[in-house]
Amino acid sequence: MTTYDDATSPVTLAGRRAQEAAAGLATLPRAVKDDALRAVADALEARTAEIVAANAGDVRRAEEAGTAASVVDRLTLTADRVRAIAADVRHVVTLPDPVGEVVRGSTLPNGIDLRQVRVPLGVVGIVYEARPNVTVDAAALCLKSGNAVLLRGSSSAKESNTALVAVLRDAVAAAGLPADAVQLVPGDTHDSVRELMRARGLVDVLIPRGGAALIRRTVEESTVPVIETGTGNCHVYVDADADLDAAVDILVNAKAQRPSVCNSAETVLVHRDIAAAFLPRALDALAEAQVTVHGDARVRALAEDTKATVVEATDEDWATEYLSYDLAAAVVDSLDDAVAHIRRWSSGHTEAIITTSQAAARRFTQRVDSTTVAVNASTRFTDGGAFGFGAEIGISTQKLHARGPMGLPELTSTKYVLTGDGHIR
């Protein structure tokens, strides 16, 4: 039932077209969707020159605006990168179709057959920042799961996204599917984001992918149900009974292997009984990995004979998702204190414990309430690819609907089908 009705808004009009398209997509068999995805991959390769040329305009504008080199790099599409994006689409073809899966079923005592069946969500809105590969990834995953998608990329990637969506829509239409299964939400301004957030009844779920500010704004202003993704203030707790070699390796990996991603570690908590043995070694290893440590007094006291740069930590450090070569560090008196610190400061993404103690591992995994708890493994494994989901639309850090890496099944809802022969109550 439509509750949003501003017929003059381009977002409303796009939403209505998406709803129409979604009704058609919902009943398509897998083979038809897979053919369309293959057509998309082929078209991306065939029209690479056009895509790269459009992207060059975005890259030029970003460089002229003095955008950071790392951001420009993420924005840039080369022929190789377009090929990689097309390969990702072909990989989605290989994944099982979640739609139609019978989640549970039984024959009720009265003889009625009950089946709970996966169905598409309907219209999925994605609000995302610079990286244009998200445009294709998100569209491919939505298409495979029978959903229409409304894409609202950032204005910095406008030319790239326009070119990519044109290719997607042409390919989808050529495969006999409604082109409006994939739409770029019009408008450069924040107004179109706001309209998307208020399009309850037209948009079934909104998934923000990007920085904390974008996610917070979406959560607070949206009347459309939101899946909160990707804020990762992740912790590594080094227990009194840790294997120190493993602890150093995991900590350095969790922090420094790719600091810009949400599953990198931002704080290390060290049990006091092992602090003197662990921290000097860890601080040297972190220093070698170019990491700046923000330590509490006990950490700083143990840093004196190391190569590490340790600055004083404040409460802000415990709260911060650095996404950089920075790491907060504290010594805790017990496992329970580590859990309490995590409960207070974590964003609920991923926390790891390094321990040889079965009791400690069990207590930590039971008491930490995050999407993922890792025992003797790096926080960096929280990822749809690593989990074997084949693809990922984002990592949900909320408790409703989906928690943790979201694959194709998380882009579906269910419906119950009851079959009787004249049953009444």
Residues 281-340 that bind its own copies (CB under 8 A): none
**Cβ at position 384, least distance to its own copies in Å:** 11
**Cβ at position 222, least distance to its own copies in Å:** 9
Our finding on whether 114 is near its own copies (CB under 8 A) is yes
The SS3 call for residue 251 is: helix
Stretch that binds its own copies, among 39-47, 267-275, 328-336, 395-403 (CB under 8 A): 395-403
Stretch that binds its own copies, among 46-54, 162-170, 216-224, 295-303 (CB under 8 A): 216-224
Stretch that binds its own copies, among 60-68, 75-83, 115-123, 153-161 (CB under 8 A): 115-123
Our finding on whether 121 is near its own copies (CB under 8 A) is yes
**Binding-residue total with its own copies (CB under 8 A):** 73
Distance CA 237, CA 273 (A): 13
Q: Locate 225 and state its tokens.
A: 């149900």
Our finding on whether 223 is near its own copies (CB under 8 A) is yes
Maximum Cα–Cα distance for the chain, whole Å?
Answer: 82
Strand order across the beta sheet in which 265-271 lies: 310-312, 292-295, 326-332, 265-271, 234-238, 350-354
Our finding on whether 74 is near its own copies (CB under 8 A) is no
Which x/- pattern, by CB under 8 A, does the window 181-210 give for its own copies? -------------------x---xx-----
Our finding on whether 380 is near its own copies (CB under 8 A) is yes
Stretch that binds its own copies, among 6-14, 164-172, 176-184, 367-375 (CB under 8 A): 367-375
**Cβ at position 415, least distance to its own copies in Å:** 6
Our finding on whether 96 is near its own copies (CB under 8 A) is no
Q: Which amino acid is at 260?
A: S
Please provide residue 266's backbone torsions phi and psi, each rounded to the nearest 5 degrees.
-120, -20
User: Apex CA 283: angle with CA 277 and CA 285, to 5°?
Assistant: 105
**Cβ at position 243, least distance to its own copies in Å:** 7
**Which whole-number Å values give the CA distances from 100 to 36, 96, 113, 189, 309, in the listed order?**
19, 11, 16, 38, 56
Our finding on whether 358 is near its own copies (CB under 8 A) is no
Q: End-to-end CA distance of the chain, in Å?
A: 28
205 contacts 411 by C-beta, under 8 angstroms = no
Residue from 246, 277, 289, 301 binding its own copies (CB under 8 A): 246
Please provide residue 115's backbone torsions phi and psi, each rounded to the nearest 5 degrees.
-130, 135
